[in-house]
Structure 1
Amino acid sequence: MSKKWRKRLVKFLIFDLSLIIILLSTGLIYQQISSSQDEKTFTPPGKLYEVHGDKMHLYTGGEGDVTVVLASGWGTADPYVDYYPLYEKLAPDTKFAVYDRFGYGYSDRTDKKRDVDTVADELHELLQVSGQKPPYVLVAHSLGSLETLRFAQKYPDLVKGIVMIDGGNPEFYATGQDNLADTIGGFANQFRIKTGLFRLSMQVPAVVDASNANRNELKLVPEDLRKVDKTALLLNYGNANTIDELRETQRNAKTVIANKHPLSVPLTILTADYFGKPEPDWVKTQSEFKSWSTLSKQITVKDTEHYIHQYHPDIVADEILQIVKK
């Protein structure tokens, strides 16, 4: 290669490198400025309470002698929005409390490990410091099943009953080999988040619709709350606490299993039919989930995806209220 062409090649490489640096810098600035603006408008609808040295969010409503405690599944960026169709059904008949684990919704992020005992103890302290009164009917969606069962194991005298909304059987999670934590927490995905590429993609309506596909596209949620949900996702997606939850899933499931004894309170297991296309392993372990209580029942809810409460909140509310009124 001649010196002339070598110089041209060097110039091209310098130009390309400069362009990459400019684009990366622009993306980083876009992400930081946009996140700062979102944080100013992302105000808690409930109250923040100090729990283990950090602030934890709790949204309550309704009235009654029993409190329905709603635990979200993994990756549900804003439980307050996600559970809207359900607590609107519950409010006329009972008190409810939606809480945000650390790293979710309006709660702080914490440096404490997301092991199931810590998470259950945080919920216990939150309910105490916020003045909630037992008995509690615990409602859990998806991975929220683990902290809910562990809470019932540690504080059985406080629990009146449990409802699982397509909540996972601990035996299912204990044998899983999902590498989702490596994907969400990996370099490529974190690069998307920090450089604003993820935020930019969420400006495309089709992408937003796809992200809400298994939540019935949030059709039962008011438009203003859909915007709040999107903001929560942009602020919370891929943070260290949510990734640590995934990494701890198998270990947490084994902790719950190690302390297994049939509960003496009602356990209702609501299983999604996934519009006729469920995974066989999930179906099998959902049926086996009944062994976790001496007073259990399982109901398969038709025409639903994983977020059953976004499709048929009336069915979910009816099952919860049956336990509340016992």
Structure 2
Amino acid sequence: MEIKRKRRWLKKVSMYGLGFLVVIFGGGFLYQWVGVHNDLPKYKPPGQLYNVFGRKMHVYSGGNGKVTIIFNAGWGTVNPYVDYYPLYNEINEQARYAVIDRFGYGYSDLTNRKRDIDNIVEESHSLLLKAKIKPPYILVGHSLGSLETIRFAQKYPSEVKGIVLLDGGSPEYYANQTPLTAVSYIQRFIVQSGVARALYHIHGFAESVASERNSLKKLPNKLKDLDRISTLLKANNKNITEEMQRSQLNARKVLNGKKPLDIPLTVITAGNFGKQDKVWLKSQAALTKWSVSGKQIIVEDSEHYVHQYRPDLVAKEILSMVNQ
């Protein structure tokens, strides 16, 4: 009889516990849904939208010059317009620039097209054509964005004048890395369940989440708030998650393309304040071999988002390539 009573008690506790979790998470998902409903009217594209393969893609452009700097954001960097602000703000008086939102990022729609590297590059190229942003281009890619940056130069070599990679991984590096897809799913759940939205109310949370981005110190308050809204609206959606899922396959496709490229390549590596991983540093040094004219610069006082720490130095290297 005692064993039966304990079993009934455990069953009740389990049922009450399950009910409690359903209520908590149900409330969280509702909280997120209401928040999204309130955020969407404030989420207006600062640039232009164009129809690309049946969906809208966004590009933000400005500046002046005969050469256009094309900015490709790193994986999971939800709003490239916000992310690259410190950099395009440095060069806008001396060069023309365009910040591309891949499908799933920034103000671009979601797409059902596979996140194959050639699809991504084709979409970006089509967007530039429709926006009448003409070559020659200097391509700037951050992190995993190095793959589509190199692939773009492989597919459209006559249009590319040079490449600058911002702590961008080499195709060899990504071809040997297991995609961190589980991390993307976990982050998506944290956002969709309302947990992230609640945490943003805690003082200092936004800065701690963005510690790798210099805690957003280079951004005006308006863009800091936009970064929060972007994260809560679009972080780790299906397109972003699939990019990570296909990263290894995409890297192998780039490896099968032309190498070395017949254009200058500057690799700007984050020194991570003297704590950078040795394997990463070795792969960064080897990345210069992807060009007939490659060089590397290590920025010791920077973490992964180099352009958020030293936009002055990065801008100097980009403009140097523009003026070559």
Indicate how the Cα distance of structure 1 residues 313 and 13 shifts in structure 2: closer, same or farther if over 3 A, else same: closer
Partner of 2:237: 239
Q: Measure the CA separation in 2 of the matches of 1:99 and 1:253.
A: 20
Q: Between the two proteins, what is the percent identity of the paired residues?
A: 46
Deviation at 1:190, TM superposition (A): 4.3
Indicate how the Cα distance of structure 1 residues 12 and 146 shifts in structure 2: closer, same or farther if over 3 A, else same: closer
SS of the equivalent of 1:226 reads: helix
Partner of 1:154: 155
Deviation at 1:323, TM superposition (A): 1.2
Q: What are the ranges of 5 or more consecutive residues in structure 1 without an aligned counterpart? A: none
Q: Pick the aligned partner of 2:199 from 177, 198, 201.
A: 201
SS of the equivalent of 2:201 reads: coil
Partner of 2:76: 75
Deviation at 1:177, TM superposition (A): 2.2
Q: Pick the aligned partner of 1:305 from 296, 303, 306.
A: 303
Indicate how the Cα distance of structure 1 residues 15 and 66 shifts in structure 2: closer, same or farther if over 3 A, else same: same
SS of the equivalent of 2:204 reads: helix
Partner of 1:177: 178
How many corresponding residue pairs?
A: 323
Deviation at 1:302, TM superposition (A): 2.3
TM-score, normalisation: structure 1: 0.94
Residue type of the alignment partner of 2:31: Y
Partner of 1:94: 95
Indicate how the Cα distance of structure 1 residues 5 and 219 shifts in structure 2: closer, same or farther if over 3 A, else same: closer
Deviation at 1:14, TM superposition (A): 4.9
Checking the alignment, whether the CA contact within 8 Å between 2:188 and 2:235 is kept in structure 1 is: no
Q: What are the ranges of 5 or more consecutive residues in structure 2 without an aligned counterpart? A: none
SS of the equivalent of 1:102 reads: coil
Residue type of the alignment partner of 1:38: D
Q: Measure the CA separation in 2 of the matches of 1:154 and 1:137.
A: 14
Partner of 1:138: 139
Deviation at 1:205, TM superposition (A): 2.9
Cα deviation, 1:280-311, whole Å, max 9, x if unaligned, reads 11111111111111111111112011111111
Cα deviation, 1:157-195, whole Å, max 9, x if unaligned, reads 0001111111111111111124x2123225xx5443332
SS of the equivalent of 1:123 reads: helix
SS of the equivalent of 1:145 reads: helix
Checking the alignment, whether the CA contact within 8 Å between 2:171 and 2:254 is kept in structure 1 is: yes
Partner of 1:66: 67
TM-score, normalisation: structure 2: 0.95
SS of the equivalent of 2:90 reads: helix
Indicate how the Cα distance of structure 1 residues 245 and 6 shifts in structure 2: closer, same or farther if over 3 A, else same: closer
Checking the alignment, whether the CA contact within 8 Å between 2:271 and 2:303 is kept in structure 1 is: yes
Write the mapping of 1:118-137 to structure 2, written as runs, cut at 5 A.
118-137=119-138
Which has the larger displacement, 23-32 or 123-132?
A: 23-32
Q: Measure the CA separation in 2 of the matches of 1:203 and 1:141.
A: 29
Q: Measure the CA separation in 2 of the matches of 1:4 and 1:185.
A: 40
SS of the equivalent of 1:143 reads: helix
